[in-house]
Amino acid sequence: MVFNRSLLARAALGPAAGAVLMAFMASGAIPAYQMYSVGLAAVYTIVVLSVGLLAGWSGIWSVGHPAFFAIGAYFAAYGSGHDWPLEAVVLGAVATGAVLGAFLGYAGARFSVLYIALLTLAFTTVTLELINRWSSVTGGDQGVPVVQLRSALGFGTLLGGGTEAQYLAVGAAAVVLALAVPAAASGLRMRLVAAKSHPLAARTIGIAPEAQSSLSFAVSAACTCFAGVLLGLLTGFVSPDPFSLTFGISLIAACVLGGVGTILGAAAGGIYLTWNPSLSSAVGMPQPVVQGLVLIAVLLFLPGGVVPFLAKPARSLLRRVQRRPDAEVPLPADELTKPAPLGPSGDGPVLLHLEHVSVSYGGLKALEDASLSLRQNEILAVIGPNGAGKTTLLNALSGLTGNGRVSGSAEFAGRPLLKARATARRRLGIGRTFQHAEVFSELTVAENVLCTRRRITAGDRAEVARLLHSVGLADVADRRPGELPFGLQKRLDLARAMAENPKLLILDEPFGGLDAGERALLARHIRRLHAEGTAVVVIDHVLDDLFSVAHRVLAFDFGRTIGEGTPDTVLQDPKVRSSYLGTVEGRTRPPTQAGERSMIRLHGVGHTYGGVVALRDVDLDVRQGVVLGIAGANGAGKSTLAGILHGSLEPARGDRESGGAVRTSLAPEGRALFKTLSLRENLEVAAYGAGITGAPLRERLEETVQWLPARLRDRLSASAGGLSGGEQQMLAIARALIVAPDVLIVDEPALGLAPALVDEVYDRLARLAHDGLTVVLLEQLLSRAMSVCHEVAVLHEGVVAAQGRPGDPEFAALAEAAYFSGGLDPATTTAAANARTSSVN
């Protein structure tokens, strides 16, 4: 932890305010009848701080704090009745709170936020019942007095209900606030928040969420017990009344009102709790009504709380004053223009060795018998179509296989890897990034990297600053990741993985979603990492960029290795090539001509997800009776296009016209069946959703069931989750057919299916086309799209890069080039007569 001047100044604010308050109290400026309220506000501030920081930092909303508050108060009462010294009472209360809190926190880490709320609710209920019934100790609902507590260390005697107790409460609150300030700047808070905002990503940097929540709950409960002792001294009398469940709800209201996880907000919440009764009588409404209304109003209109709401404009004003004018583009341009060549792979010792590693989830084998070895100073690229098992391989390496069964053996730097917990693999020297840049949204950019350290020194801060500078994030170090574009979030993800210089870096689709400039920059980073001696395993679908940074390429399909080679040679392997492009010949050809009537037309359609461009400027015309194939690699924007064609997704730009009352229906990617529903119910629900009920529904159901293969017709009452992949696909298509659509949109029907089943599915689709249905087919394999469709549009990075008829020999070459890299050279593409192309970038 680093103490700089501003931190010390802020930490001193609490004690300073406390001292001023005490001076006022001593001078008599505060009327005697308000002295008690001031003390109470101080005690409440401690409790609200405990609850609020626990929620804000660890994401645990406790309804159990009234119980801890009560435990502390009864410790004071019991101690006073049995002549315990003050120190013993405080120690006993704090220790009891810590132990119980640690247990609740540990148990709570396994549950979602709702379960924790209920767990702590149960804790409060049980504690209150004990207090009410165990009258020999607690006095039952009669209560017990706190007469006095004598200090064993010679600080004198505190009378229950006396003025000293009021001073003590204010002083204690000041100290607790002062301690919270450096805690807020510490690595501990960063690790807590990291574990809360993304438990899975936190594991990959060595943070165990269970330990974090146990610790934070223990501290929070201990503080609340301490506040309970103060309350006992302050009131001089302890009864069960103040510790009701309503108090627990009010505590949450106070936290939310002040601002969850802010220290100043806790003080505001404590003040609100204290003077809520006066407020209620001032507005002439019962206290619970005021509390309830305030709670609802704050959650609806000020979910961030009052203090952050007020602080935000103040801070942005400050920032505007302080901020020096600096360039918006945070990367040095000269480095971008000269790409360093990739150094040779070393002949170093083997760093990672996998033998026959398999991962299965239930009956599904996501990864089968994977073997590979990686030398130090080598970059290995792993390629394969969607669902090939690439991400599962990475998850097995980083220990994130969840409840999957992992078998086989793996060695990393001479140690067995598979038995090591995910949190331990960071220490072994493995860092990883995520496809969607899983950064900690509630930490700043710098904190995202800093939280990899347990204790943060000045040296650490300097080192992280250097690292952020090297990836071009230095100017945004104090911003939240959510304010940054996706490309910068991915850089942050990379920086976090690179911190502490891992021996092996695992990159999950690092190029996906980046523009050309960012991809070039990323390639440069990977080369530099290699030059510094880091081994890298990288998977991606953007093959050009991937191959530019790889020494060796491993190809996967159906969970198995299907080929290996250098970047130059691997795509020449027919097996690898066919896994992307396909070799399947459709048995049933589509009908030879299509009608001219336009069913759906898209004009200049574009779509983005949180700053990531999924589609750009797409024009498409779906004519009646056509089988239109849309081919593209994973992430090219196919599913987005499917949703827009279907009409269930509103495009961000451009428009969709459909001719007259055209009914579209979609069989989504991955089937998306209702797995807990039976086959028949899946069909019925879709008809119901389209407004078909009663007799017409039964009729449609009858007809659609006839379309299903015989083996499914006999199992209409079985649940859809039990079907095999191919059967699920049939059902998904049938579910789309039951509404008698004019246009059927099928998104990747072949995904994850064995070849024979793929043929069957395509056969049936072709027959539907013969019957006059208009079909839009979104397909990952270009050759399959070419073999079954009238027209094929190739989608590359959200753009229609080529469009034409499969029969046209010129189009075949064009489509292939478009599929892999967005098109041939612009000069040659214009020559293609029948195809409309647009080049990317």
Partner 1 sequence: MSQFLLVLVSGVASGAVYGLMGLGLVIIYRATDVVNFAMASLATLGLYVALSLHDRGVATALGVLAAVAITVAAGLVVRETVIRPLGQGQLFSALVVTMGVSLVAESVAGSIWGDQPKSFPSLVDGSVRWSGAAVPVQSLLTIAVAAVAMALVGYLFARTTLGSAMRAAAESADTARVVGLSSGRLARISWALGLGLAALAACLYAPRSGLVPTALVAPLFRAFAGIFLGGLTSMYGAVLGGLTIGVLDNMAANYVSASFRDTFVFSFTVLVLLIRPQGMFGARTFQRV
Please, which of residues 469-488 interact with partner 1 by CB under 8 A?
Answer: none
Q: What is the DSSP letter of 116?
A: H
One character per residue 96-125, x = contact with partner 1 (rule: CB under 8 A):
-----------x--xxxxxx-xxx-xx--x
Instruction: Using DSSP bridges, classify how beta strands 535-539 and 430-432 pair: parallel, antiparallel or unpaired.
Output: unpaired
Whole-number minimum distance, CB 665 to partner 1, in Å? 8
Is residue 133 at the binding interface for partner 1, with CB under 8 A as the rule? yes
CA quadruple 334, 338, 339, 343: dihedral sign: negative
CB atoms within 10 A of CB 595: 12
Q: What is the DSSP letter of 678?
A: B
| d(C-alpha 739, C-alpha 453), whole Å | 57
Q: Which range touches partner 1 (CB under 8 A), out of 42-50, 141-149, 230-238, 689-697?
A: 689-697
Among positions 130, 211, 562, 812, the unique one binding partner 1 when judged by CB under 8 A: 130
Is residue 332 at the binding interface for partner 1, with CB under 8 A as the rule? no
Give the nearer residue to partner 1 in terms of CB position, either 553 or 642.
Answer: 642
Q: Which range touches partner 1 (CB under 8 A), out of 6-14, 262-270, 660-668, 805-813?
A: 660-668
Enumerate residues 154-213 that contact partner 1 by CB under 8 A: 199-201
Amino acid at position 341, single letter: P
One DSSP character per residue, 196-248 reads: HH-HHHHHHTT--HHHHHHHHHHHHHHHHHHHHHHHHHHHSEE-SGGGSHHHH
The burial of 596, by beta-carbon neighbours within 10 Å (0-12 exposed, 13-18 middle, 19 or more buried), is given as exposed
Give the nearer residue to partner 1 in terms of CB position, either 248 or 823.
Answer: 248
> Most distant CA pair in the chain: distance in Å?
101
Whole-number minimum distance, CB 335 to partner 1, in Å? 31
Whole-number minimum distance, CB 438 to partner 1, in Å? 7
Give the nearer residue to partner 1 in terms of CB position, either 280 or 501.
Answer: 280
The answer to whether the CB of 572 falls within 8 A of the CB of 774 is no
Enumerate residues 481-540 that contact partner 1 by CB under 8 A: 508
Closest by Cα among 243, 235, 67 to 144: 235
Whole-number minimum distance, CB 720 to partner 1, in Å? 10
Enumerate residues 357-416 that contact partner 1 by CB under 8 A: 361, 391, 395, 400, 402-403
Enumerate residues 221-250 that contact partner 1 by CB under 8 A: 245-246, 249
Among positions 632, 668, 822, 823, the unique one binding partner 1 when judged by CB under 8 A: 668
Give the nearer residue to partner 1 in terms of CB position, either 721 or 826.
Answer: 721
The answer to whether the CB of 735 falls within 8 A of the CB of 667 is yes
How many chain residues are in contact with partner 1, going by CB under 8 A?
Answer: 74
One character per residue 620-659, x = contact with partner 1 (rule: CB under 8 A):
--------------------------x-x-----------
Closest by Cα among 677, 675, 712 to 685: 677
Give the nearer residue to partner 1 in terms of CB position, either 523 or 679.
Answer: 679
Give the nearer residue to partner 1 in terms of CB position, either 134 or 155.
Answer: 134
Closest by Cα among 583, 542, 556 to 782: 583
Side-chain-side CA neighbours of residue 98 (13 Å): 9
Instruction: Using DSSP bridges, classify how beta strands 560-565 and 799-804 pair: parallel, antiparallel or unpaired.
Output: unpaired
Residues 6+ apart with CB under 8 A from 141: 132, 239, 240
One character per residue 703-742, x = contact with partner 1 (rule: CB under 8 A):
--------------------------------x---x---
Is residue 80 at the binding interface for partner 1, with CB under 8 A as the rule? no
Is residue 442 at the binding interface for partner 1, with CB under 8 A as the rule? no
| d(C-alpha 6, C-alpha 401), whole Å | 44
Q: Under DSSP, is residue 664 helix (H, G, I), strand (E, B) or coil? A: strand
Is residue 828 at the binding interface for partner 1, with CB under 8 A as the rule? no
Is residue 61 at the binding interface for partner 1, with CB under 8 A as the rule? yes
| d(C-alpha 447, C-alpha 440), whole Å | 9
Whole-number minimum distance, CB 309 to partner 1, in Å? 16
Is residue 289 at the binding interface for partner 1, with CB under 8 A as the rule? yes
Whole-number minimum distance, CB 40 to partner 1, in Å? 21
Among positions 85, 674, 705, 840, the unique one binding partner 1 when judged by CB under 8 A: 674
The answer to whether the CB of 373 falls within 8 A of the CB of 564 is no
Among positions 45, 216, 220, 291, the unique one binding partner 1 when judged by CB under 8 A: 291
Side-chain-side CA neighbours of residue 82 (13 Å): 12
Whole-number minimum distance, CB 141 to partner 1, in Å? 13
Give the nearer residue to partner 1 in terms of CB position, either 286 or 332.
Answer: 286
Closest by Cα among 383, 378, 375 to 342: 378
